[in-house]
């Protein structure tokens, strides 16, 4: 097993809004979210990232912004640049300002202008390739804007059609720079050729969103068959319960922006 490779040393998080019960939902039916449990799960998430060696910067929650803890969607942090997105969900555009203020300490900033929409949940970085989902939240102009900003920095941008879920990373996340965990039924996996695809267990279609932190893979324990598949390949799997956030159509990657200082 590789040592934790320290690809990231900072995690930006944002607290859980007391309004999370009014979060955006696209594919899921609304069910009650227990705020106290969500806050406890968020706190455990921050603790695990610290244990894995990251410095955690936490932005306070905004009671007017139900989805504000899902910071991944409002920025894409590249080597040399942080791109503030323009979420496809209008209710989420107010989340940008507070995250922008923090990221300005670490990177020059760029923005996504109308009519482009882009959400970070649609941007999967694997090495220097950015796979970008065309999804309900990210349009062609959003992909083009990211390409314009990222290619001069040495990234390649590859579009992936998203057909069955909210974001690209609902269907596929990276285990390392050669291997991804995926539910290939929710995307067109053709653009991922060249990567090894570890399929989620068929009875766990929502299990693909795991969080890679160095050599560790943080994963929701409610998907045990998929976790077994990942562990069997030698990864240091760290179970972390995010059940309340799954009800908000979110998961592990959504709750942080990880990058190297
Ligand atoms: N609730 C997460 C989202 O729809 O953006």
* Residues 149, 169: Cα–Cα separation, whole Å: 21
Averaged pLDDT for residues 96-109: 98
Instruction: Print burial letters for 53-63: b (CB count within 10 Å at least 16), e (below 16).
Output: ebeebebebbe
Q: Is the CB of 89 under 6 A from ligand 1?
A: yes
DSSP 155: -
Q: Give the model confidence (pLDDT) of 217-237 as tens digits.
A: 999 999 999 999 999 999 999
Q: How far apart are CA 13 and CA 40, in angstroms?
A: 14
Query: At 181, phi and psi to the nearest 5?
Result: -105, 130
Ligand 1 in reach of 250 Cβ (< 6 A): yes
Pocket lining: 28 vs ligand 1, CB cutoff 6 Å: no
In the numeric block, the tokens 């795991």 are attached to: 210
How far is ligand 1, taken at its centre, from the CA of residue 24, in Å? Answer: 4
pLDDT of 6 above 70: no
Average pLDDT, the chain: 96
What spacing in Å lies between the alpha carbon of 260 and ligand 1's midpoint? 26
CA 78, 220, 195, 112 torsion-angle sign: negative
Residues 145-162 have a mean pLDDT of 98
Give the residue, by CA position, lying nearest to ligand 1 atom 5: 24
pTM here is 0.95
């Amino acid at each position: 097993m590789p040592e934790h490779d320290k690809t990231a040393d900072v995690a930006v998080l944002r607290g859980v809004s007391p309004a999370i019960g009014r979060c955006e939902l696209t594919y899921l039916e609304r069910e009650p979210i227990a705020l106290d449990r969500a806050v406890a799960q968020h706190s455990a998430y921050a603790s695990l990232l610290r244990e894995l060696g990251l410095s955690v910067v936490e932005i306070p929650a905004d009671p007017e912004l139900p989805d504000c803890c899902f910071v991944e969607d409002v920025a894409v942090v590249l080597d040399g640049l942080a791109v503030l997105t323009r979420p496809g969900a209008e209710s989420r555009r107010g989340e940008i300002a507070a995250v922008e203020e923090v990221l300005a300490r670490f990177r020059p900033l760029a923005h996504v202008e109308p009519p482009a929409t882009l959400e970070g949940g649609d941007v999967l970085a694997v090495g220097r390739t950015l796979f970008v989902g065309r999804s309900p939240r990210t349009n062609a102009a959003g992909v083009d804007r990211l390409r314009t900003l990222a290619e001069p920095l040495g990234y390649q941008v590859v579009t992936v059609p998203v057909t069955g879920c909210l974001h690209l990373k609902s269907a596929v996340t990276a285990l390392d720079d050669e291997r991804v965990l995926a539910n290939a039924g929710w995307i067109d996996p053709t653009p991922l050729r060249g990567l090894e695809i570890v399929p989620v267990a068929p009875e766990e279609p929502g299990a693909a969103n795991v969080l890679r932190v160095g050599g560790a893979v943080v994963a929701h324990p409610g998907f045990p068959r998929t976790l077994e598949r990942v562990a069997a390949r030698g990864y240091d799997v760290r179970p972390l319960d995010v059940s309340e956030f799954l009800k908000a159509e979110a998961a592990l990657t959504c709750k942080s922006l990880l990058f190297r200082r």
